[in-house]
Chains A and B, each alone.
Chain A
Amino acid sequence: MAVGELDFRTCPVTGLKIHRPAERLIKINAVTAVVFLLVGGIVALLIALTRWPAVHLLPAVYYYRLLTLHGIAMLVAWIIFFEIAAVYFCCTALLNSRLAAPKLGWLAYFLMLIGAAIVAITILAGKADVMFTSYVPLKASPWYYFGVILFAVGALIGISLFFASVVKAKNEGTYTGSLPLVSFGVAIACIIAVLTLAHGAIIYIPTFLWSLGLIQNIDAAMYRIIFWGFGHSSQQINVAAMISIWYLLSTLTVGGKPLNQKVCRTAFILYALFINIASAHHILVDPGPSAAWKVWNTSYAMYLAVLASLIHAFAVPATVEVALRKKGYTKGLFEWLKKAPWGDPGFSSLAISILLFGVMGGITGVIQGTEQLNIRNHNTLNIVGHFHGTVVAGTTVAFMGLTYYVIPLIFQREIISKGLAKLQPYIYGIGLVLLSGGMILAGMFGVPRRHWDITFAATQFPMSWDPTVSFALGLLGLGGVIAVIGGAIFIYIAVGSLLWGKKTG
């Protein structure tokens, strides 16, 4: 027992018991996440400057190559490394417990790192210009699929470690009753992750064998259905993790407590049951599946997941409002909002994440999940605008906000350049509004996604567009540049604080 106690330290700010081996894993996963954010961000700038017709920076080959890398670095590596860090935090610090098997945590980390490195190198070597979706019959080098599989196995080990640690904490009595809401939300994210990775295994293992020549044919329509059981569901892991972080940030920034745990937990359970089947909206224009399959999966059932998002969208701001009113900001309807800590980057990130996720990501997502409208928006930049509203303006901004607390609490370093840190979420947020807004607008005019030259300038029949499209793509380019500046400031503050920040512990 005494030896075990040596493995813990008590956080002087929150009073949480921190398991040191888990802490080391949280640190390494969070740092690796930020490295991939840097890679993805540099590539994002080059891509945005290519889609901005006035600049049109990259040649076609590099545009598609770097677009593939951007998807992997951002959608997979940055987000999942950070989520694994969050997962370890929620199953140890929040439960006063320890990580069940730290060595397995390191195995998971190295599998993920090696997998991500193999994928990135294969893409940069020009052996996997297949985009994030790698739709068959596009064929990448077997190394690409092998790297993805390796990464997924590592992530699965990390998630299994979460469940094992929760069971251990329960058995050792480090918490009683129900899981804390944040840990419960992360548990739901882990449940979604297991189902997602199962679909990934079902599709990537045969595709890997196909790339080796051991399997003759992969049915393209079949691939799309199973792939999206993985590809879109992986983004639902982010949604559940992001909302858990919203609740965590509302506590860390203003001392909020969820108003009604039953309602919040019910909303999370609706995610576990129904959010994954929303993947079907990717198949809405495919001729194979019936209208019944499409309508059931993207309407009736999916709206139960949308209901869950609406519940969270009201529950988190209500939590903040009640906490601030308790502090005495009770004049009129909005004094609490006026007096909110807008200079705390954790709080402003929370507010920006909720607002942009709901308005830009959520609403467009529901529109695109409607069969009649999807036929118009499918494969246009409108879709890209939607998921930059969810994954970037929602998830990434929330993760950035949490980082401003992880650095002092876990890394025990003071944040450097506090003035710049106050501005960073706003700069990043403004950039994303322009970027996503430009994409959504351009998509409404039918501008295709993943397209190097929408004017078809070198062909016999060049395409002309409504002048609004130039304006929209200009917004996209400008927003991309501003967002990259905001992202660069974040990386400077995060890395700089680790290197030069004053030690607090």
Chain B
Amino acid sequence: MAEEKKAQEKEKIPKMQALYDDLFFIFLLGAVVLVVFYTLWGVMELANLPLWPR
């Protein structure tokens, strides 16, 4: 009975709130945005610059 009640309470949590409560998911999104847009894009652009002719 108590378990059923608990399960019902769990179901009531709105999806967005569950998403906001998921710290790992937020971390993952933050990592993807930073690494893709700032780090990888920036490094790729520098790596593709032509070298100064010697």
Contacts and interface: CB of A to CB of B under 8 A. Distances in A.
Interface string A174-194: 000011000000011001101
Interface of B: 16-17, 20-21, 23, 26-27, 29-31, 33-34, 37-39, 41-43, 45-46, 49
B30 A276 contact: yes
A219 B20 CA distance: 39
Interface stretch (A32-40, A55-63, A287-295, A443-451): A287-295
Contacts, number: 75
A314 to B, nearest CB: 20
Contacts of A166: 23
Given A191-B26, A290-B45, 20 more contacts: A178-B17, A178-B20, A191-B27, A191-B30, A192-B30, A195-B31, A219-B46, A225-B38, A265-B20, A266-B20, A272-B29, A272-B30, A273-B26, A273-B30, A276-B33, A276-B38, A277-B33, A277-B34, A277-B38, A280-B38
Interface string A447-465: 0000000000000000000
Given A178-B20, A187-B23, A199-B39, A221 B30 contact: no
> Interface of chain B, helix or strand or loop or mixed?
helix
Shortest 4 CB-CB contacts between residues of A and residues of B: A272-B30, A277-B38, A225-B42, A276-B34
B25 to A, nearest CB: 10
A371 to B, nearest CB: 15
A289 B23 contact: no
A382 interface: no
A272 B26 CA distance: 7
B42 to A, nearest CB: 5
A251 to B, nearest CB: 20
A134 interface: no
Interface in A242-290: 262, 265-266, 269, 272-274, 276-277, 279-280, 283, 288-290
Nearest to B19: A269
A122 interface: no
